[in-house]
Amino acid sequence: MQNSKTFGTCATCHRQTPLTKHHLIPKKREKKKKKISKNEGEEAVIYICRTCHDGIHDLYDERILEKEFYTLEKLSTDERLRKHFLWVSKCKKGLQ
């Protein structure tokens, strides 16, 4: 999955849709942390739709994402994000 044209199931809203790569540890923040090896950084991604991706970044800045939402489980259990993902899951498939 190299670009936003890849089609599949969104990890957060579970719709069948084009996907984008979301870095669980933001790329800008990852570069500042020497303790994260390149291989770990490459694996710390999930594939989600553009609407879910935009919602994550609209609700939280990179510092908060790095400190509190560095796994899919942590993203999925946050009340604000959960409400957003639920709303997206009910949207028409053409919404991006």
Average pLDDT of the segment spanning 54-70: 95
Contacts of 43 (CB under 8 A, 6+ apart): none
User: Which has more confidence, 61 or 37?
Assistant: 61
pLDDT at 94 exceeding the cut of 70: no
> Which pLDDT belongs to residue 30?
56
**How far is C-alpha 75 from the geometric centre of its chain's CA atoms?**
8
Give the bridge partners for 22, in sequence order.
46
34-43 contact pairs (CB < 8 A, 24+): none
User: Which has more confidence, 26 or 94?
Assistant: 26
Residue ranges of the domains in the chain? 7-89
pLDDT at 42 exceeding the cut of 60: no
Global pTM exceeds 0.85: no
